[in-house]
Chains A and B, each alone.
Chain A
Amino acid sequence: MSVNQKINCQLLGVGVWGPGFSNWSEFTDLIDHAAEKNISELMVSSPKPEVIPANERRRSPLPVRAAVEVSWQALQQSGLNSSDVACVFGSGLGDTDITDYMCRVLITDEKQLSPTKFHNSVHNAAAGYWTISTGCMKSANSIAAYHDTVGTCLLEAMIQANQYQEAVLVSLFDTAVQETYKQIFPCDYSFAAALLVVPESYSYNKGKSHHKILANISMSMEAGKTENGKFELPELFNSLYQQNPVAKVLPLLTALAKHKNAELQFSLGKKSKLAISFQPEAVSEVKR
């Protein structure tokens, strides 16, 4: 039986979009003023990722636009080229609007589905649009693990980063659920976040002068269920955190925004969890 070793990564980029914020600086502002805000009164902007060509962007569904927008933010911040970055997309719910559309069409006599909506219905639509828009030919994953999506995506990305010595983008997205599906998944708020990680001894490609390390992340797998309430999260985000599967990443983002070390847990399965030591770093830079 093998020893369960710690796996370490460095965070080079972060992207966010959700109620009241459409990028990282708006997110940190909101965290600073969280006590004065109510989530239902926050404006939700429409994500417009410029990396997707305009004609394609118009046809792309909200979950795709949200995921690609946060991914682009994280990539820009990292200073890496998209062609060097593998990606792990994750969504607990997928695109429930398209599922609803397809099920409604399929109870009509004609059953005539839109071919564009059909190819957009795949869970890896966001990964597809991302790799097509940025010319990335590296591996692209698309993971669903319902409320364990954040944990399994972080696990996958950090293992992949270390074994293949490559940069990995984690892109998490789940959007608000409408009408019929709301009966099953009462998710009122859309949210997306991206984290770009590299292994500790990552060899940076030439051509970039520096890459700022935002945080060090160390993980290990542990047995048992996650323990509740062992993290800091503004009350503002309580319902978002509870309802939206990928909002489970909010405690990590909060720690980064507040420059505070955190010991975090993410569920991976019925009785297993990812234990993460998260250490934001304010000033360190990698120079070559």
Chain B
Amino acid sequence: MNRQKIVIVDYEATCAAGVGLSAIRLAIAQQKSGLRANDFPGCQLPTWIGRVTELDAHVGNEKLTQWQSRNNALIDLALQQGSLLASLEKIKSKLGPNRIGMVMGSSTSSIDRSEEAYRYLNQDNQLPPEFIQENVLNPHAPGLFIAEKLGLDGPCMTINTACSSSAKVFATAARWLKAGIVDAVLVGGADTLCLSVLYGFHSLQLVSPNPCKPFDQDRDGINLGEAAGFALLMRAEDAAAQNINIAIELSGCGESSDAHHMSHPHPDGSGAQLAIEQALTQAKLTPDQIDYINLHGTASRANDHIEGNLIGKLFSDRTLVSSTKGWTGHTLGAAGILESIFAMDALVTEQIPGTLYLQKIDPEINIQMSSKNYQAKLQHVMSNSFGFGGNNACLIFSRYQGAN
């Protein structure tokens, strides 16, 4: 196998905790949650949500033309943050648009737009013409929109494996770069709040009426949230040749299946364990070398019990762990990249988020964590993502220390 190192050249995120990475860093430092009592239009469920309030001004914006949807509006807003587009343009001008791949992750794609369209169905079950949007109402909508908007001509696809979607984008991008079929890959994830997920998770009795409390003994379910995040990946030698300052390496990826149940995790966490072990093997690291893990930590009774005890079994107390869902809610198909960014940014800021809203850890979960943030210089960090269908992904990011 090709041993070339894959590095992260730039990254950005937008979620309820902040529009853009600098706002998110501030929210982490101040322990300021982005969760709010449910005020999503058309939804009367008693719950809390991670809504990007700034997004409202962008939904329906005319410049989205035939690409109208809440999901595309969030993508559009998130892409404008930080230096991401400037970094991409610089690389594009050197490599050309067909040497840059695009891998998006999403679970809802733009189903928010379908929900809206059905409110205008006529008596013959037909939609008004403005909703006949073939490139928005199919599950590849995020990939199609971004390729068109940014003029990316290379291979382009959208991974739809529910809540592991935008973690798996990193694994695919690394394979594409190692195979040499492209020279850079823009990966991303985007999911927006919509009635399908709010009422869908409600039907599974997984939605909490309170702010979510991951790993707490009194946790009573998840809060849904929305987010979009992006990262730009290259081979280390190519990035170095372009004099790009490299801070972070993608050192390991693991992907596995539970083979257990569509919406309930494997009781032993054995599928998740496979993904974690595969990522460690690929990174050539032992569990004790992992300094911080951003857990999936949804605050559902089952996930936190199974994941917490698995981590307690595999890792010692020297590895710091937390769930950041208390800042953002569960952002589903965007959670993989959003939480990867929380983890990799801790390498840069040396600020490690605690588990917001945690009061007393569940005595049946054998793991140590607190609601407080930590300060520490880290070398290797991990992010876990688990989705419906028993779909698991685990990523390891490391402080970059040169090509060898």
Name A residues whose Cβ lies closer than 8 Å to a Cβ of B: 1-5, 7, 91-94, 99, 102-107, 111-115, 118-125, 127-129, 131-132, 134-146, 148-149, 151-152, 155-156, 159-160, 162-165, 179-181, 183-185, 221, 223, 268-272
Interface centre among B138, B176, B258, B271 (most CB of A within 10 A): B138
Residues of A within 8 A of B171 (CB): 139
Residues of B within 8 A of A125 (CB): 262, 389
CB nearest to B96 among chain A residues: A223
Residues of A within 8 A of B127 (CB): 180, 183-184
Residues of A within 8 A of B152 (CB): 269-270
Contact of A141 among B111, B134, B168, B204 (CB under 8 A): B168
- B107/A123 in contact, CB under 8 A: yes
Complex Cα spacing A227 to B183, Å: 24
Q: How many pairs, one residue from A and one from B, have CB atoms within 8 Å of each other in the complex?
A: 245
Complex Cα spacing A103 to B235, Å: 43
Shortest Cβ gap from A6 to chain B (Å):
11
Shortest Cβ gap from B146 to chain A (Å):
11
**Other contacts beyond A128-B390, A152-B157: 7, CB < 8 A:** A99-B114, A106-B115, A143-B159, A156-B175, A159-B175, A268-B155, A269-B156
25 residue pairs bridging A and B, Cβ less than 8 Å apart:
A1-B95, A2-B180, A2-B238, A91-B139, A93-B139, A94-B139, A99-B114, A103-B196, A111-B195, A112-B199, A113-B196, A115-B200, A119-B204, A123-B161, A128-B262, A128-B388, A132-B390, A144-B157, A145-B143, A146-B135, A149-B157, A164-B1, A185-B134, A269-B147, A269-B153
Q: A113-B203, A162-B179, A183-B127 are in contact. Are A106 and B389 (CB under 8 A)?
A: no
B93-125, CB < 8 A from A: 95, 97-99, 101-102, 107, 109, 111, 114-115, 117-119, 121, 125
Complex Cα spacing A103 to B115, Å: 5
- A131/B258 in contact, CB under 8 A: yes
Residues of A within 8 A of B203 (CB): 112-115, 118
Q: A106-B196, A144-B138 are in contact. Are A124 and B162 (CB under 8 A)?
A: yes
CB nearest to A129 among chain B residues: B262
Shortest Cβ gap from B145 to chain A (Å):
12
Shortest Cβ gap from B89 to chain A (Å):
17
Shortest Cβ gap from B64 to chain A (Å):
18
- B115/A183 in contact, CB under 8 A: no
Q: Say whether B181 faces chain A, with CB atoms less than 8 Å apart.
A: yes
Residues of A within 8 A of B289 (CB): none
Q: Say whether B158 faces chain A, with CB atoms less than 8 Å apart.
A: yes
- B179/A122 in contact, CB under 8 A: no
CB nearest to A144 among chain B residues: B139
- B235/A2 in contact, CB under 8 A: yes
CB nearest to A113 among chain B residues: B203
Residues of B within 8 A of A122 (CB): 107, 160-162, 387-389
CB nearest to A115 among chain B residues: B203
- A123/B199 in contact, CB under 8 A: no
Q: Say whether B10 faces chain A, with CB atoms less than 8 Å apart.
A: no
Complex Cα spacing A184 to B98, Å: 29
Residues of B within 8 A of A151 (CB): 155
- B125/A136 in contact, CB under 8 A: no
- A146/B140 in contact, CB under 8 A: yes
Residues of B within 8 A of A4 (CB): 180-181
Complex Cα spacing A3 to B99, Å: 12
Contact of B180 among A5, A102, A124 (CB under 8 A): A5
Shortest Cβ gap from B140 to chain A (Å):
4
Q: Say whether B274 faces chain A, with CB atoms less than 8 Å apart.
A: yes
Complex Cα spacing A145 to B144, Å: 8
Contact of A144 among B121, B160, B168 (CB under 8 A): B160
Complex Cα spacing A146 to B147, Å: 13
Complex Cα spacing A188 to B115, Å: 23
- A132/B262 in contact, CB under 8 A: yes
Shortest Cβ gap from B173 to chain A (Å):
11
- B258/A7 in contact, CB under 8 A: no
- A111/B107 in contact, CB under 8 A: no
Q: A118-B200, A118-B203, A183-B126 are in contact. Are A145 and B262 (CB under 8 A)?
A: no
- B181/A155 in contact, CB under 8 A: yes
B39-70, CB < 8 A from A: none
Complex Cα spacing A1 to B95, Å: 8
Q: Which 9 A-B pairs have the closest CB atoms?
A: A128-B389, A123-B160, A139-B255, A2-B180, A271-B153, A144-B139, A118-B200, A131-B257, A268-B155
Shortest Cβ gap from B148 to chain A (Å):
8
0/1 interface trace, chain B 318-350, chain A, CB 8 Å (1 if under):
000000000000000000000000000000000
- A92/B196 in contact, CB under 8 A: no
- B183/A1 in contact, CB under 8 A: yes
- A270/B156 in contact, CB under 8 A: yes
0/1 interface trace, chain B 173-197, chain A, CB 8 Å (1 if under):
0011011111100000000000110
- A131/B259 in contact, CB under 8 A: yes
Residues of B within 8 A of A132 (CB): 258-262, 389-390
- A184/B388 in contact, CB under 8 A: no
Q: A184-B132, A221-B155 are in contact. Are A2 and B262 (CB under 8 A)?
A: no
Complex Cα spacing A183 to B262, Å: 31
Q: Say whether B133 faces chain A, with CB atoms less than 8 Å apart.
A: yes
Contact of A159 among B125, B153, B157, B181 (CB under 8 A): B181
Interface centre among A5, A129, A160, A271 (most CB of B within 10 A): A271
Shortest Cβ gap from B189 to chain A (Å):
14
Contact of B238 among A1, A118, A223 (CB under 8 A): A1
Residues of B within 8 A of A270 (CB): 147-148, 152-153, 156
Contact of B132 among A91, A102, A183 (CB under 8 A): A183
- B168/A107 in contact, CB under 8 A: no
